[in-house]
Amino acid sequence: MGDLLTGSADAAAGLTVRGADLIDRSAPVSVRETLAARDVPARLAAKDPTLWGPGAEAKVRLGWRDTHRRSRELLPQLAELIEELADLDHVVLAGTDGSSLAPEVIARTLGRPLTVLDTTDPGQVRTALADRLDRTVVVVSGKSGSTVETDSLRRAYWHAFLDAGMTEAEAARHFVVVTDPGSPLEATAAEMGVVTIVADSDLAGRYSALTAFGLVPSALAGVAVTDLLDEADALAATLGRDRDNPGLALGVALGAAATTGRDTVALVSDGTGVDGLGDWAEHLLAESIGTAGGGILPVVVESPDAPGATGPDVLTVSYGGALAPGVTPGVGAAAVAVNGPLGAQFLTWEYATAIAAAVLGVDPFDQPHVAERREHTARILATGPAPETPSFTEGAVEVYAPAGAPGDLVGVLRWLLDGLADDGYLAVTAYLDRLGDAAAAGLRPVLARATRRPVTFRWGPRPAGQHLGGPPVGSYLQLTGAVTDDLPVPGRPYTFGELQAAQAAGDRQALAGQGRPVLRLHLTERAAGVAQLLDAAGRTRDDDG
């Protein structure tokens, strides 16, 4: 288990947070005592929207505090739906952002099969469409459903069912829509004649784990979702306390660390059975308290000894399942350990994020940059991409670099790393197939080993709000790949390959508009290009000795 954590623990409902008190003691003034003096735990438990200032956003975004109770109303409907669709045993979730990350964590942790399709990569979409189509139920999930990714995936599956010889009524049986009441997607679902389940609308998508967005695909995949609600409900009773409140302890640790120079949060699994929670927590933290020109930079690391897991400005937080009595959690040099059942984990992290935001003085429910990337993408789809000429080509990699960058692959990568400021970070985004091109994720630890600054990794088009609204100290590496077998988006004048390229170009335009350095590497042959990049990234360090 690594080094043992010391200090007291906050424990309730089977969930324990250890190490937070030591972080609080490192602050000049106890964050916990300051919050208690302001009655913050009780006010948050009571859904007081004034905790983050006078803005109106919190007034309509605090439903996550008790959504696990309202979600029980879904259980009879879910039971009926599971029975009606018992012959459709291949569950596909077509959604993006917060609507897809939580169900993936739930399914992976509890060992249930769920295909999560949150991509526009034509190869990945084509592979999914070819997999057991006659036994597939597609959960189309989105608060509005108007995002181009969700709409395109819905169109692709509808067209595939009809091409397979189904009538429209037969195809409709293979869909379940989850969306906000009154959304454009609800209207589309009515036109299609498909089952629609409306979700709580008084919360942001990243706080929707215990709503219909998280529960419907999970239940169809075979998860006993009642257990998740029970776990969250058991924890909820503790959230108004000043002590024995795990959510408060974690929020205090995040806030105290950020205000004392440890504003990078390394998220690492301790291997005890909560699979993939780091990706969900990274999104929650980045979009909630990383988009106000400051805040926290979350980084998912692969293992306790991975590059970037520790450092002078890093708060290392491990996460895992409930531990046997007498076992003390600890992962390497983890400063804070969070252990407990998954339903309680979701509520704890949501509460902790809101607490940390109150400490830092930011609004955790504001979403100032949500529309920016989408607007750029829509404009490029409408007008066509601007012509681009590579700075140079090396092997299977075309390099599109700012003026003045070196003319070789190792050199341009080293140039990007050397340009990071003392408080900077590198964000890697791969607009590739996260299954077929999975090896690309290996770039994160290799590049992190070559620099002393944080390196993040995400698969496009997953959200990147922090990249646009966070501290203006990031540098950006974008990976794109050649498309050899494109796929049309039915009813639209573009293909999935063109949509993916437009999304990548939209990201670059948004970042360039804010003066951020962006290096694009285009893989003309994907497998060879990824291997070449991994080799070159490793040599950025080797060549330095």
- The pLDDT assigned to 2 comes to 36
- The pLDDT assigned to 329 comes to 61
- The pLDDT assigned to 3 comes to 40
Report how far residue 291's alpha carbon sits from residue 302's, in angstroms, rounded to the nearest whole number: 24
CB count, 10 Å around CB of 382? 10
For 104-124, write each residue's pLDDT tens digit: 999 999 999 999 999 999 999
User: Among 228-242, 317-331, 404-418, 458-472, whose mean pLDDT is lowest?
Assistant: 458-472
Mean pLDDT of the chain: 92
Please provide residue 254's backbone torsions phi and psi, each rounded to the nearest 5 degrees.
-60, -45
Lookup: tokens for 180: 């906000």
For 36-75, write each residue's pLDDT tens digit: 999 999 999 999 999 998 866 788 899 999 999 999 999 9
**Percent share of the chain, pLDDT over 90:** 80
Q: Which DSSP symbol is given to 4?
A: P
| Average pLDDT estimate for 477-506 | 97
Report how far residue 57's alpha carbon sits from residue 468's, in angstroms, rounded to the nearest whole number: 20
For 170-209, write each residue's pLDDT tens digit: 999 999 999 999 999 999 999 999 999 999 989 999 999 9
CB count, 10 Å around CB of 124? 22
Terminal alpha carbon distance of the chain = 32
CA count, 13 A, side-chain hemisphere, 522: 17
pTM of the model: 0.95
Residue keyed to tokens 């959604």: 95
Residue keyed to tokens 């919190």: 58
Q: pLDDT band for 368, please (50, 70, 90 cuts).
A: low
Residue keyed to tokens 């003392």: 422
Give strand pairing partners of 90. 136
